[in-house]
């Protein structure tokens, strides 16, 4: 029986069958246990992420690819905490690592600052990240635009908002509504309408559901605030 089984022509098939059995009988079930045992979970990977200087060397000059990998980790981190405790203690470090590896990654500045402001509540961190982005990318309108929006909506610092909208206004490719905002800010009128327009523009250009959700939430809040005085008057 065993001699027939171990016939040279059957050994390769036997080895393959045993390999398949081992894969589905042991390797896959053991791998399923990994998350439960906390093997290299998301939090571990975030906490053990080396500093940018070390990553620059380790990536052998493929800095863009390394930045993409850390960006994907950042997205997983945001998603994980958005669905659990809504706390983001490592978010700033992650985004700073991404932009240290790829200083021209404009969306990392803008989306990173948005999540720092509206998810982590770290407006100062968002401002510092965006200012870093302006220094590294002086010809891109998106970063001064988001700085202006942050000063306008979150800090109500209209002088700084006006300054950054003026910077945006001078850059190629800026949105059509920017000159209107500059004019309004000079007149210092219609704050809520301006805010509403800013959020609507953001909702309409959002590339992610998370950003769209933040924008829709803020639009609903502003619409309620705008409707309240009107109801007061009708009473």
Partner 1 sequence: MKIAAIALNTFREAVRDRILYTILVFALLLIGASVILATLSIGQEGKIVKDLGLASSSLFGTFIAIFLGIGLVSKEIERRTIYAIVAKPIYRFQFLLGKYIGLVLTLLVTVGVMALLVAGLAFAVDGHWTPGLLLAAALDFLVLMIVTAVAILFSTFSTPTLSAMFTLAVFVIGRLSGDLRLFAEQFAGPGLRQVLEGMYLILPDLSRFQIGPQVVHGLPLGRADVLVAVAYGLAYTLFLLLVAIGIFERRDFK
Residues that bind partner 1 (CB under 8 A): 56-57, 60-65, 67-68, 71-72, 75-76, 102, 104-107, 111, 207-208, 210-211
Cβ 228 to partner 1 shortest distance, Å: 34
Cβ 221 to partner 1 shortest distance, Å: 23
Cβ 108 to partner 1 shortest distance, Å: 9
Q: Please measure the distance between the N-terminal and C-terminal CA atoms of the chain and give it in whole angstroms.
A: 96
Of residues 189 and 208, the one with the C-beta less far from partner 1: 208
Q: How far is CA 216 from CA 19, 55, 88, 198, 211, in A?
A: 53, 37, 22, 11, 9
Pinpoint the alpha helices (H) of 151-190: 158-169, 178-187
Of residues 163 and 212, the one with the C-beta less far from partner 1: 212
The Cα 60–Cα 173 span in angstroms is 34
Cβ 46 to partner 1 shortest distance, Å: 16
**Residue 177 token pair:** 């509504």
Of residues 68 and 157, the one with the C-beta less far from partner 1: 68
Of residues 63 and 200, the one with the C-beta less far from partner 1: 63
Rounding to the nearest 10 degrees, give the CA dihedral for residues 142, 133, 159, 181. 0
Cβ 206 to partner 1 shortest distance, Å: 9
Of residues 155 and 206, the one with the C-beta less far from partner 1: 206
Angle at 143 between CA 138 and CA 148, to 5 degrees: 115
- Which residue, 75, 221, 54, is CA-closest to 213? 221
Contact yes or no for 146/106 (Cβ under 8 A): no
């Amino acid at each position: 029986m065993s001699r027939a089984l171990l016939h040279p022509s059957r050994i390769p098939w036997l080895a393959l069958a045993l390999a398949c059995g081992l894969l589905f009988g042991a390797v896959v079930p053991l791998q399923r246990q990994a998350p439960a045992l906390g093997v290299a979970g998301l939090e571990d990977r975030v906490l053990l992420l080396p500093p940018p200087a070390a990553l620059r060397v380790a990536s052998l000059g493929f800095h863009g690819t390394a930045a993409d990998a850390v960006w994907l980790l950042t997205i997983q981190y945001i998603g994980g905490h958005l669905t659990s405790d809504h706390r983001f203690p490592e978010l700033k470090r992650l985004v700073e690592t991404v932009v240290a590896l790829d200083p021209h990654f404009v969306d990392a500045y803008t989306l990173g600052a948005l999540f720092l402001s509206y998810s982590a509540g770290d407006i100062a961190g968002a401002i510092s990240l965006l200012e870093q982005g302006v220094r590294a990318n002086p010809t891109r309108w998106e970063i001064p635009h988001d700085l202006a929006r942050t000063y306008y909506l979150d800090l109500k610092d209209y002088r700084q908002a006006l300054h950054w909208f003026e910077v945006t206004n001078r850059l190629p490719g800026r949105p059509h509504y920017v000159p209107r905002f500059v004019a309004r800010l000079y007149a210092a009128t219609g704050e809520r309408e301006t805010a509403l327009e800013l959020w609507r523009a953001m909702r309409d250009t959002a590339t992610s559901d998370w950003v769209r959700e933040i924008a829709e939430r803020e639009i609903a809040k502003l619409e309620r605030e705008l409707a309240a005085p009107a109801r007061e008057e009708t009473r």
